[in-house]
Amino acid sequence: MSSVDKKTIQEYWTKNVPYLDLVCKKFTPDDKEFYLEADAYRYKYDAYIPPLIDSFAKKSSSILEVGCGMGADSRYIARKGSSITSLDLSYDNVHFSLKGMEVLGLKGKGVNADAENLPFKDNSFDTVYSFGVLHHTPDTQKAINEVYRVLKPNGEAVIMLYHKGYAYYALLLLHGYKKIFGFYNQDRLMSKYDSTPLSRLYSKDEIKKIFRNFKELKIEITAFGGTKAHPVLKHVHSVLEKSKFLMNRFGSFIIIKGKK
C-alpha cells in the first residue's frame, strides 16, 4: 500500500487525460470528431485492444469499466451492444465518457467513484474490465478484491497492469543505486519514470498472488504499442514482437483474465 493520497491521484488524472491535448487542438468536446479522433489515437498503436474487448463484450452483457479515462474503450463496448458502466476517480473523465456516448448516439452509464470502494452490490456484472489503471491506485489488492466482489458467479475480470519488463530492468540499471541506498523504493522509481503520482510494476508471481481468489487464471504479456513512435524504443518493440520468449520476459503490459 502506498502513502500517496487519492486526492493527488485524482487531480493528476483530471489534468492529464490521455489524448486530450491532441484532440483539443482540433475539436471541442461537443463535436463528434473530438471523440472519434481520441478513439483513433487510442487504437493507432495498441491494435490488440479491440480484439481483447471482442473476447468478452457481448450483446446484453453487463460490463463495468474501472478507469474509463476519456471513454474510448467504453464506447467500443457500447457499440458491441453491451450494457456499459464507465467508472473513474476523475469526475471530468466520467463526463467525457458520457458526453462521447451522447454525441455518438451510444448508451452507457457513468459513475465517479473510487476503484477501491466500488459503489455496487455484490454479483452485479458479467465482466469487469480495466486497462492500465489499477497499478495507479494506492491499494491494488483492495481494488482487485472489489472487482471480485462485484462480479457475478462465473463472471470474468479482464485487467491490464504494468509488468516488470524492460522498463523495470532499465530503471534498475540506471537508478538501482538510489534504491540500494534508500533514496527511492521501487514504486517511487517507476512513478518518477512514468511521470505520475503512483505507478507500480508486477511480476507474474505477484499477479498470481493478487488474483489468488480467481479461477481459470490466464496471463498474457505484451508491450505498449506507443513505443513504435519512439526513435529508439521502436527497435526494442520490434525485437519483442518477433520473439514470444523475449516478450514474455521483457514485455511491459501484463493482461490478466480470471473468473469468479
In the prediction, which pLDDT does 181 show? 43
Q: Which residues pair with 257 in a beta bridge?
A: 158, 218
253-259 and 215-222 beta bridge pairing: antiparallel
Q: Which residues pair with 65 in a beta bridge?
A: 86, 129
pTM of the model: 0.92
In the prediction, which pLDDT does 2 show? 62
In the prediction, which pLDDT does 175 show? 65
Strand runs labelled E in 188-245: 215-222
Q: Which residues of the chain have pLDDT under 50?
A: 180-181
**CATH code matching the domain that covers 6-162+198-225+253-259, chosen among 3.80.30.20, 3.40.920.10, 3.40.50.150, 1.10.760.10:** 3.40.50.150
Residues 132/253, Cβ–Cβ less than 8 Å: yes
**pLDDT tens column, 233-257:** 888 888 888 999 998 998 899 999 9
Neighbours of 155 (CB within 10 A): 23
